[in-house]
Amino acid sequence: DAKTTQPPSMDCAEGRAANLPCNHSTISGNEYVYWYRQIHSQGPQYIIHGLKNNETNEMASLIITEDRKSSTLILPHATLRDTAVYYCIVREYSSASKIIFGSGTRLSIRP
């Protein structure tokens, strides 16, 4: 499985868009990019995933570069409840896929 690199911490003003980058330069053609977040000490929560096209759901948007070596998670209107650690992972499209987490990005939202 490809590894990912994320900045250890970021902050964003409440109401603004939060843009969280992720580098996955060794991603292979059959690997998807997934984003999760962990609020305080709860179990991680799925946010969004994609292969090569940009994706949007009710929580966030995912922008994947054309060469697929990096991606950006966008929280369009950040709120205090979005304060969490955000994890970017890559995994194969198969049932037999080991899932490894990196250190993530700690996002702080300022009032």
Partner 1 sequence: DAEITQSPRHKITETGRQVTLACHQTWNHNNMFWYRQDLGHGLRLIHYSYGVQDTNKGEVSDGYSVSRSNTEDLPLTLESAASSQTSVYFCASSDGNSPLHFGNGTRLTVT
Is residue 56 involved in binding partner 1 (CB under 8 A)?
Answer: no
Kindly list the distances between the CA atom of residue 11 and the CA atoms of 34, 48, 64, 88, 89, in Å, as whole numbers in the listed order.
21, 21, 22, 17, 21
Is residue 102 involved in binding partner 1 (CB under 8 A)?
Answer: yes
Our CB check for partner 1 shows the closer of 64 and 104 to be 104
User: CB of 15: closest distance to partner 1 in angstroms?
Assistant: 28
> How does DSSP classify residue 52?
S
Q: Are 15 and 78 contacting, i.e. CB atoms less than 8 angstroms apart?
A: yes
In the complex, the residues that contact partner 1 under the rule CB under 8 A are 32, 34, 36, 41-46, 49, 85, 87, 91-104
